Structure 1
Amino acid sequence: MRSAWGLVMGGAAALVWGECLNRRWSRTLVGNGAGASEAVVVLGYRNPRAAINVINRWRVRAGLRSIASDKARDTRVIFSGGATGSGPAEAQLMADYAKSVLKFGGHVLIEDQSRTTWENVTNVIPLLEGVDRIKIASQPAHALKARAYLHRQRPDLAKRLVVADDYRPGEWAVLKPLLALYGLWTLRGLQAEERKVSL
């Protein structure tokens, strides 16, 4: 009985830990920017086949729900990611999914050359010029990494970063401890100042 109770408590602790870390990452390196225009950057995930995978489908949904309701007409959604196999680029797959399945009719831009997160950020910078607010949508650890890279490459644009709607309590709950472990590994290269929670 004690071992079963210990397993339950350990599992609950892991779920809470995963939720807390993912929430923390979603609110790091963002501000409370204001303005009439915004860009939502949706980062792609390895998609070697011709059909969009489940992670990219989720990232598209997270990106679209990140559009501020009062800014819908002034928002550009930027899908970023190159081809990882013989199929189409991740960005194109995500844009097609947003338009054909989710019926998104807003302003879409495609960046289809990137193969790494650093390249994602580098290649979308020209598409971010002139917007007042920038949101980066992905799994929280990945989005934080991209925000840190924007701070390194263009600190002036990084001042316009605001929180995206890519963290929701309970969403992916069972996987969040694993995502947190993976996130800790992928974020190991960030500096201390790049880990400070902003909100």
Structure 2
Amino acid sequence: MRRRTGLAIAGAAALAWGEWVNWRWSRALVSSSGGSSTAVVVLGYRNPQSTANLINRWRVRAGIRSITSDGAQKTCVIFSGGATSSGVTEARLMADYAKSVLAFNGTVLLEDQSTTTWENIMHVIPLLEDVDRIKIASQPAHALKARAYLRRQRPDLAERLVRADDYRPGEWMAVKPLLALYGLWTLRGVKAGERKVSLWTAL
């Protein structure tokens, strides 16, 4: 009985920790920047098949719902990701899913040259010059890594970063502890100061 209780407590603690870590990451390196135009950058994930995989489908949904979370009058979605083993780019697979399955009919731009997160940011920068707000949609750790890269490459544009709707309490809850552990590994090159929760989005 005690063992079961201990396992239950440990499991609950792991779930709570996964939620907390992902919540913090989703609110780091963002501000409360305002404006009438927003670009939502959806980062691709390696996709060997000819249709969007589970991870890319979720990222597309997170990107699309990030549009409706504010009152921007002009919004574009930028799908970013290079060629896959199927010959179709991640950007194209995500855009096709957004249009054919989610019936998204908004403005879509494709960045189809990048193969790393650093390149994702490098190649989308020209598409971000004229927007007031920038949202990066992915798993929270990956999105934070991308925001840190934008801060390093173009600190002036990084000032326009606002939070995407890529974290929701309870979503992917069972695997969030694993995502948190993987996130800690992927964020090992991101400085501690770049992981701090922004005051504007702490609540």
TM-score, normalising length from structure 2? 0.96
Partner of 2:98: 98
Task: Say if 1:49 and 1:87, in contact at 8 Å, map to a contact too.
Answer: no
State yes or no: 1:77 paired with 2:81. no
Structure 1: stretches of 5+ with no match in the other structure:
none
Task: Say if 1:48 and 1:83, in contact at 8 Å, map to a contact too.
Answer: no
For residues 151-171 of structure 1, the C-alpha deviation after alignment (integer angstroms, 9 at most, x for no partner) is 000000000000000000000
RMSD: 0.8
Question: What is the 5 A alignment of 1:5-20?
Answer: 5-20=5-20
Question: What is the 5 A alignment of 1:113-132?
Answer: 113-132=113-132
Regions of 4+ moved over 3 Å = none
The alpha-carbon deviation at position 48 of structure 1 amounts to 1.1
Partner of 2:108: 108
Give the secondary-structure state (helix, strand or coil) at the position aligned to 1:38.
strand
Provide the rounded CA distance (Å) in 1 between the counterparts of 2:46 and 2:176: 19
Partner of 1:22: 22
Partner of 1:178: 178
The alpha-carbon deviation at position 117 of structure 1 amounts to 0.3
Provide the rounded CA distance (Å) in 2 between the counterparts of 1:49 and 1:157: 34
Give the secondary-structure state (helix, strand or coil) at the position aligned to 1:70.
coil
TM-score, normalising length from structure 1? 0.98
Provide the rounded CA distance (Å) in 1 between the counterparts of 2:197 and 2:46: 28
State yes or no: 1:161 paired with 2:155. no
Structure 2: stretches of 5+ with no match in the other structure:
none
What number of residue pairs does the alignment pair up? 198
Give the secondary-structure state (helix, strand or coil) at the position aligned to 1:35.
coil
The alpha-carbon deviation at position 195 of structure 1 amounts to 1.1
Identity %, equivalent residues: 73
The alpha-carbon deviation at position 86 of structure 1 amounts to 2.9
